[in-house]
Amino acid sequence: MRVAVVGTGYFSQFHMQGWQHVVGAKVMTVCDRDGSRASDAAAKYHVDSIMADIDSLIARDDIDVFDVIVPPAAQSEVLNQLLPLGKPIICQKPFGRDYAEALGFVKTAEAHKTPLIVHENFRFMPWFREAKRLVGSGALGTLHGICFRLRPGDGRGPNAYLDRQPYFQSMPRLLVVETAIHLIDTFRMICGEVCSVYAQLRRLNPVIAGEDAGIIVFDFASGAAGVFDGNRLNDHVASNTRTTMGEMWLEGSAGVLRLDGEARLWFKPHHEPEQEHPYQRHLDKGFGGGACGALQQHVIDALQDGDAPENTAAAYLTNLQIQEAIYRSNVTGQRIVLDQFDPLAAS
């Protein structure tokens, strides 16, 4: 399948690296208003052409899939031009500037029968896929709970995030919108649907506008409980704190599965010693154990087989509902029950 990449910002490098390894797809062109950035990306990843605007891209008839890698503020302009074409679109997250805009994209996609997928890549990290497999196999028994402690250690001081994603400093919402949303999606993949949330969010670094720390408690329909404990200022034990971004514990009636900072999984059966659980971490495949490429391969395979890929935009709206419930809980100090919460009414 022939792919057009739209946008060449910071995270596009990981998309481009992923596309290099996808079987059945080839990037045909890179589109960006910044011609020098587009040229640099095309040269680095051996792409034959560049384009400066969406109108020129739309005029091409040799594109099968669009990979849109632009920030939420630019998504409306891009998606509203591409969605009527009916061709599959992968859209970077955060998906939409708010829930209402994301819902609008979904409705437009449905009206034009356009497959729209959100590029939510954490669920494709090998350690989370293996954790899901183990839970599904019954290796942990009845699942009691999940806990993830996010500690990338990149949010300290006046220069926090400036070398990578400087717009983080001015985002009115940061930790949940930019980072915890990944774990919301991952928790749902591993533990099932969320019934309610309770959250306390904080800002530790005064130079940023939004929250950079917080604790979120989840109740799952399965009866399991979850905790996201996020803090972007402290780090964790790891040779590269951005490999896993933190540590995870999955507890079940048969034992505990632990993820460490080197992406190793450790299983401790009840009343028995902890031992490493071997699996393929794929740390040589780049960001997140090749998570971007794994997501892209999954989407291409699903499209070719006529199946619905994971993280369709319609399904992703549940993540955004949970996200909004978290912010509402932080404001009200109350536990928010999801089936009684309407993000549109609350906004």
- Mean pLDDT for the chain? 96
Pick the CATH number of 2-119+296-312 from 3.40.50.2300, 3.40.710.10, 3.40.50.1980, 3.40.50.720: 3.40.50.720
Q: Is the dihedral of CA 316, 91, 114, 309 positive or negative?
A: negative
- Mean pLDDT for the stretch of residues 211-239: 97
With b for 16 or more beta-carbon neighbours within 10 A and e for fewer, the 190-204 pattern comes to: bbeebebbbbebeeb
pLDDT at position 164 is: 86
What is the per-residue pLDDT for 196? 98
End-to-end CA distance of the chain: 40
Count the residues in the chain. Answer: 347
User: Is the bond into 273 cis (omega within 30 degrees of 0)?
Assistant: no
Q: What is the per-residue pLDDT for 180?
A: 98
Q: Quick count: other Cβ atoms within 10 Å of Cβ 69?
A: 25
Q: Which residue has the tokens 């008839």?
A: 61
Q: Which class does domain 123-280 fall in?
A: alpha beta
- Residue 150: pLDDT band (50, 70, 90) is very high
Q: What is the pLDDT of residues 220-232, one digit of tens each?
A: 999 999 999 999 9
Top pLDDT among 10 and 301 is at 301
Quick: pLDDT tens for 158-192: 999 999 889 999 999 999 999 999 999 999 999 99
Whether pLDDT at 346 is above 90: no
Q: Note the pTM of the prediction, 2 decimals.
A: 0.96
- Binned at pLDDT 50, 70 and 90, residue 137 comes out as very high
CATH topology match: 2-119+296-312 vs 123-280: no
Q: So what's the pLDDT on residue 347?
A: 58
What is the percentage of the chain residues whose pLDDT exceeds 70?
Answer: 99
Task: Indicate if the pLDDT at residue 253 is higher than 70.
Answer: yes
What's residue 119's pLDDT? 98
* pLDDT over 90, % of the chain: 96
List, in order, residues 6 or more apart from 35 with CB less than 8 Å away: 50, 52
Query: How far, in Å, CA of 157 to CA of 288, rounded?
Result: 26
Domain coordinates of the chain in residue numbers?
2-119+296-312, 123-280
pLDDT digits (tens, 9 = 90+) for 269-315: 999 999 999 999 999 998 999 999 999 999 999 999 999 999 999 99
Q: What is the mean pLDDT of residues 325-336?
A: 98
Q: Kindly give, in sequence order, each residue whose CB lies less than 8 Å from that of residue 150, ignoring residues fewer than 6 positions away.
A: 179, 180, 183, 228, 229, 230, 231, 232, 245, 246
